Structure 1
Amino acid sequence: MTPPAALLDIDGTLIDSNYQHALVWYRAFRLHGLTIPVWRCHRAIGMGGDQLVSHLAGEGFEREQGDAVRMEEKALYAQLIAETQPFEGARGLIEDLRGLGCKVVISSSAQSKDTHHYLDLLDARPLVDGWTDSSSVDATKPAPDLIEAAVEIAGGAKAVLIGDSTWDCKAAKAAKVQTICIRTGGFGVDELLEAGAIAVYDSLTELRENLADTPFGT
């Protein structure tokens, strides 16, 4: 029996970057006259920038300053991206999934240059069937577009997303794709399950140890 394709979120799932993103969004908003507590910024990480500004600051702020804040965020994150590193077991998980016969697609809403930086960190290009980034679609998570684009890259077959946030779960659910979550994004087990995750693991290492119990191993 052919296993489902594996769609892998990258920020916060394979790469330890969520808290850098939260701090950068906090600073970007501050530079445009708005203070949003870092904890609230963190709770929105997993959304694409096209969705995050209005979610945190409202539609009026989005209309007036959304593009400027997103440009600020890009510049600020460029100063911190060198601090990000793969989580333990990130490349190993991709290798495990390939060994099970899965197609593997990186389902990222990051900027193209950031996605390529992460692919370099993971040395993942030889292992994956393709990837998405924020330029792949008009609307990023929690809209289903990125998940649907990743499924298309995987050949349109059944797929399962591995992610780290409630936004991953909501986007996948809207695309009729199941989600397995890792707690590396800083979200709790209960809220991930409530958002639609079929299973939650504390780490990529724990997921690797239990792949046989997931749709990838059955």
Structure 2
Amino acid sequence: MTQPPLPFAPEILRFLKRHHYERVTPRAALIDMDGTLYDSMKNHTRAWHRLMTELGVECTREEFYLYEGRTGASTINALFQRQFGRNATDEEKTSLYQRKTEYFRELPPVLPMEGALDMLSVFREVGMQRVLVTGSGQQSVLDNISRDFPGMF
């Protein structure tokens, strides 16, 4: 077996051995947006915290890092269940997520993560398909994908 590149060599070797593989050649990469391509979580946490405290929901800004990857509706329901003992209505979820989006847009623009373009370039060079996966509905960030990562998706 050839030694895979660091820093994950031991984990890759254990995986290969456990599954009786000599090598693995990934053909695609599923790439998240928030925290992988963009440093957007600090803005998400600020917008969520502002929204929920305005509604009287007891929460901390840091808690919203735990909800990363959830849909807006799921986050709203989790907090409504905890604070009010019920799920939010469809109308509440829609209007509250819209307001959270407005708060997000008021914040400074998010920047690409350091090394993200390099990572995508390597994937493209080796012929790996790149698939953007995200639970984010932040159109302002989605609109920047083509500008910040041209030809990658």
Deviation at 1:68, TM superposition (A): 2.7
Structure 2 distance, partners of 1:126, 1:110, is 21
Distance 1:51 1:26, change over 3 A: same
Deviation at 1:42, TM superposition (A): 2.1
Deviation at 1:81, TM superposition (A): 5.2
Which position in structure 2 is the counterpart of 1:60?
86
Quick check: which one's strand share is greater?
A: 1
1:100-115 alignment runs, 5 A limit: 100-111=126-137, 113-115=139-141
1:74-153 alignment runs, 5 A limit: 74-80=101-107, 82=109, 84-111=110-137, 113-122=139-148, 124-128=149-153
Structure 2 distance, partners of 1:96, 1:125, is 14
Q: For residue 115 of structure 2, what is the amino acid of its counterpart?
A: G
Q: For residue 99 of structure 1, what is the amino acid of its counterpart?
A: E
Which position in structure 1 is the counterpart of 2:54?
31
Alpha carbons 1:108, 1:115 under 8 Å: kept: no
Query: What are structure 1's unaligned runs of at least 5 residues?
Result: 129-218
Structure possessing the higher relative contact order (Cα contacts under 8 Å, 6 or more residues apart)? 2
Residue 9 (str. 1) matches residue 32 (str. 2): yes
Alpha carbons 1:29, 1:69 under 8 Å: kept: no
Deviation at 1:8, TM superposition (A): 0.4
Aligned residues: 126
What is the aligned counterpart of 2:97 among 70, 84, 87? 70
Alpha carbons 1:22, 1:45 under 8 Å: kept: no
Q: TM-score, normalised by structure 1?
A: 0.52
Alpha carbons 2:48, 2:64 under 8 Å: kept: yes
1:187-202 alignment runs, 5 A limit: none
Deviation at 1:45, TM superposition (A): 2.0
SS of the aligned residue for 1:86 comes to coil
Structure 1 distance, partners of 2:27, 2:103, is 37
Alpha carbons 1:54, 1:61 under 8 Å: kept: yes
Larger radius of gyration: 2
Q: For residue 91 of structure 1, what is the amino acid of its counterpart?
A: L
SS of the aligned residue for 2:118 comes to helix
Which position in structure 2 is the counterpart of 1:41?
64
Structure 2 distance, partners of 1:27, 1:91, is 31
Distance 1:112 1:34, change over 3 A: closer
Which position in structure 2 is the counterpart of 1:179?
none
Alpha carbons 1:86, 1:121 under 8 Å: kept: no
